[in-house]
A = this chain, B = another copy of it.
């Protein structure tokens, strides 16, 4: 769940934001002044910050600097001031976006979504998509299988089949489901394909292909991958 930190000293604005955000399943923290805000940010590590520049205890830009000292969390600034200088100052201090009050809630939420989306790690980035077994390792992102320090070469079909099984580690995958995912939706009965390609996977990955430990056959039903 995405966590939002709202910083504003006007209770009605905070209330409106909190209600709208919670309705959209965001987790919301709120602070009424800069000091509390910085503390909360450090404690809760929000995914995005909504900051009103007009705070009672400190300049909003100072809050931005305080945050930017240690985090790159997206900061969305709210302000009643339309002056161009204010915007430039806030943006150059490290804000990500600047919305002038009064603002439309739809727009604010859209900008919030944009800010959060941007901060997301690249899909297929460094996320750990590696599955380990005693004998081999499957890296789903790099499309690599390593066994005894060597890369194992898989054909597209073999890889596709392995992928479906590994993504369902421990679960039984029916023959029909495998056929449809690997060969396409119009397949479903060609179980001989499965037999051939399961055999090849086992030959390449199992220690003893005749007595598989990872690619288990469930007779009449399907196959199961076990670590």
Which residues of A line the B interface, CB within 8 A?
72, 74, 84-85, 87-88, 91-92, 94-98, 104, 106-107, 109-111, 113-114, 117-118, 122, 126, 141-144, 153, 155-156, 159, 170-172, 218-221, 224
A87 and B72 contacting across the interface, CB-CB below 8 Å: no
Cβ contact within 8 Å between A172 and B142:
yes
Chain B residues whose CB sits within 8 angstroms of the CB of A113 once the complex forms: 91-92
A91 CA to B114 CA, complexed, in Å: 6
Residues of B contacting A95 in the complex (Cβ-Cβ under 8 angstroms): 114
- Copies of the protein in its oligomer: 2
Our pick among B107, B142, B159, B220 for the contact of A88 (Cβ within 8 Å) is B107
5 contacts between A and B (CB under 8 A): A91-B111, A92-B110, A96-B114, A96-B118, A153-B218
Q: For A110, list chain B residues within 8 Å (CB).
A: 87-88, 91-92
Q: Report Cα–Cα, A94/B170, bound state, in Å.
A: 35
